[in-house]
Amino acid sequence: MPSSLQVDVYVAPAIRAETGLEEPSKQLWSPICCILIQGPTLAVLVDTPTPVELAQGLSEWVKKTAPGKKLRYICTTHAHGDHFYGNPVLLKNFPEAKCVATSFVNHGIEDAVSNENCPESLPANGEFSIDGYSFFGIDVAFSDTNYSSFLHMLAIDLVVAGDIVFGECFQHLGETCTTEKRRHWLDALSRIAQLKPSMVIPGRKRASQVDGPYLIEMMQNYIMAFQDDLKKWNDPAKVEESMRKRYPARRNDFILDRSCMASVAEKLQANEKASI
């Protein structure tokens, strides 16, 4: 890694969420990784958390971690609001920063925020730079939602994966509830693996968890395990129970619950249509 570049990860902690479910373990939202990449004079921040207090905490962390540096860009990896609703708080602290996303991701963000709060679209090749080092926003067909991308920085073999890659948190398969969409997610993981990055930073993880390309295979195995369990049962509770046994250390039972409910419902609907 060039000595003039530095990468830091801020893990915004899990927060209490109104999920409508009674179990305490299903009333939490997953932690979110916010990545700061800094050169000699400029910096890029990737993704921001939703609650004002967490976004303000991130702002203070950026100031301490990159003192004297100008935050040039705030980049959003995908169109889930919990990765960009904190942008206005960051902009209050860093008014010279520019919010950016690929035009594909921006299309999804437009559905969630007013035009004045939309990031600027990156050029067609997804390129932007700080201190002479280029980043590339690369779109994928589907991950845990439509309108997803990852950030590649060839100079340091870095991929900032957003929610294409998870650490030890249950993956959000609530939107990726069909075989085709899960195949697209596996394709996105293969695309990242083909770049042979030495660093892969996920969108969600335990704060203590080490980043790395090993997470790609973990993700692939998780999706295939989920598909295997989905084939066995038509009861979302059975799928959830099996996935808990397979992955006892993973966090955010709410996401697992919603993933099982949505995917089993989609499976049953598809089976019903096929039988007509």
**What are the pLDDT digits (tens) for 173-203?**
999 999 999 999 999 999 999 999 999 999 9
> What is the rounded radius of gyration, in angstroms, for the C-alpha atoms of the chain?
19
pLDDT of residue 118: 86
pLDDT of residue 28: 78
- Across 102-127, average pLDDT: 89
- Per-residue pLDDT tens over the stretch 218-271: 999 999 999 999 999 999 999 999 999 999 999 899 999 999 999 999 999 998
In angstroms, the CA 64 to CA 67 distance is 6
pLDDT of residue 116: 64
Percent of residues, the chain, with pLDDT higher than 90 = 84
Contact 84, 56 (CB under 8 A): no
Residue 89 has phi, psi (to 5 degrees) of: -65, -40
pLDDT reading at 170 higher than 60: yes
Mean pLDDT of the chain: 94
Cα distances (Å, whole numbers) of residue 245 to 88, 167, 168, 190, 226: 40, 17, 14, 26, 12
- Across 154-164, average pLDDT: 97
pLDDT of residue 83: 93
**Residue from 7, 10, 138 nearest 78 by CA:** 138
Contact 116, 96 (CB under 8 A): no
AA letter at 144? D
- Across 22-44, average pLDDT: 90
**Residue from 225, 238, 192 nearest 211 by CA:** 192
pLDDT of residue 275: 79
pLDDT reading at 115 higher than 70: no
pLDDT of residue 273: 83
In angstroms, the CA 198 to CA 153 distance is 11
CB atoms within 10 A of CB 57: 18
Domains and CATH numbers, the chain: 6-274 (3.60.15.10)
pLDDT reading at 3 higher than 60: no
- Across 47-54, average pLDDT: 94
pLDDT reading at 276 higher than 80: no
Two tokens, residue 22: 């009674």
pLDDT of residue 30: 87
- Across 12-37, average pLDDT: 85
